[in-house]
Amino acid sequence: MKALHGIRVLDLTHMLSGPYAGMMLADLGAETIKVEPPITGEGTRRLLEKDPKNSLNGFGAYFMTLNRNKKSITLNLKSEQGLHIFYELVKVSDIVLNNFSAGVPERLKIDYAHLSQINPRIITCSITGFGETGPDRHLPAFDIVAQAMGGGMSITGQPDGPPTRSGIPIGDLGGGLMAVIGVLAALQARHVTGRGQHVDISMLDAQISLLNYMATMYFLSGEIPDKLGNAHFVHVPYDTFRCSDGYIIVAVITDNFWNALVEVVDAPDLDTEENKEQLGRWRNRVLINQRLNEIFSTNTRKYWLERLRSKRIPCAPVNNLAQALSEPQVTARNMVIEVEHPLGGSTKMPGNPIKLSDTYEDCYTPPPLLGQHNKEIYQILLGKSDEELEFLREKGVI
């Protein structure tokens, strides 16, 4: 049994931040019902669908990954009948998740104020670019917008280069992760209060939170940090280094690590009294990094990693995706899993990083076809007849 067994989510999300939150809840065992517009479905159903390299049986990589473990129903929320059916679903659900623009849930009458009158225990969660309050709440936002406004881009990249977006869409994914945390907190609070509540998640808020100690350092010092590339603003050496066949990173954060490092690289010129302490290494950082690049470039990554790890010096290869996804540590923890397509075939994708000792079951159902679970949800859950469903189809409600 999975941890969220017995929890039902109505997933109204699209694109990335919302579907990622829904995927995490579904992976943890929540019955996650994807509510999609009839005929077209959710937008990412079409994304990459005809790309021969990045699709499987008409499902692009986005949809294939983000919608595993979910069910799909079609429902026109803009129709009076569709809205009434949605309210019926709310009565028997725990969470309503959306990432519509600010103000849209209110216009559709699916916001917390409306839904809590139908089910006082319902938890609603909205993920927006800027949140539901403040002067920018109505501005559109995508991943790069949150990354730019959140400050992270200004400290990412090489010192002499332009601000750089994170290769991982941390603006979207950060919002999705905060939504999962907020929903789980609201579920716990409901055990105490007996009431649901609304969770308001801003992608920009998430980026500001992730600045963490760097923001505090700015407030303390008044100094605006610049891009450092892969280096650290305190520790030396803490950077990428070129080997004969690629890059590794070395992260020396204590004097003991430094003492071990100079033994491994056999560099008497670096083994000075000044360099034995962090402040001395910081003063000599240009020379230290230059010499280490010269030394590491004389042999392979495998050669150096074996020697560094034998002394327990923090280090790692700089992997491309193929290398990362085939790391023995990654595969040993089932972080690469196989998910089937409902029409046949399968593909690999990242697994669930949350490993629970008791309520953990590592299984995945295929992402759903559009409206695949209409009959199951509408007949079994809501008790509607075949005749009612046919009438609703003819009216374009489902």
Query: Active-site positions?
Result: 232
Q: Are strands 70-74 and 95-98 parallel, antiparallel or unpaired?
A: unpaired
Q: Report the C-alpha gap between 249 and 381 in whole angstroms.
A: 53
Peptide bond into 317 cis (omega under 30): no
How far is C-alpha 327 from the geometric centre of its chain's CA atoms?
A: 21
CB atoms within 10 A of CB 220: 9
| Burial category of 99 from C-beta neighbours within 10 Å (exposed 0-12, middle 13-18, buried 19 and up) | buried
Contacts 24+ apart (CB under 8 A), 164-170: 164/227, 169/16, 169/143, 170/143, 170/207, 170/210
Q: Report the C-alpha gap between 110 and 116 in whole angstroms.
A: 10
Return the structure tokens found at 342. Answer: 């409902």
Convert 125-146 into a string of H (helix), E (strand) and C (coil). EEEECCCCCCCCCCCCCCHHHH
215: nearest Cα among 145, 139, 154, 131? 154
Phi-psi region at 252: left, alpha or beta (left = phi > 0; alpha = psi -120 to 50): beta
Q: What is the sign, positive or negative, of the torsion defined by CA atoms of 323, 325, 328, 330?
A: positive
Peptide bond into 342 cis (omega under 30): no
Q: Which helix (H) or strand (E) holds 350?
A: strand 346-350
Amino acid identity, position 301: R
φ/ψ of residue 250, rounded to 5: -130, 135
Residues in the chain: 398
Return the structure tokens found at 279. Answer: 């402040």
- The answer to whether the beta carbons of residues 274 and 283 sit under 8 Å apart is yes
CB atoms within 10 A of CB 10: 26
Who contacts 230 (Cβ-Cβ below 8 Å, separation ≥6)? 239, 240, 249
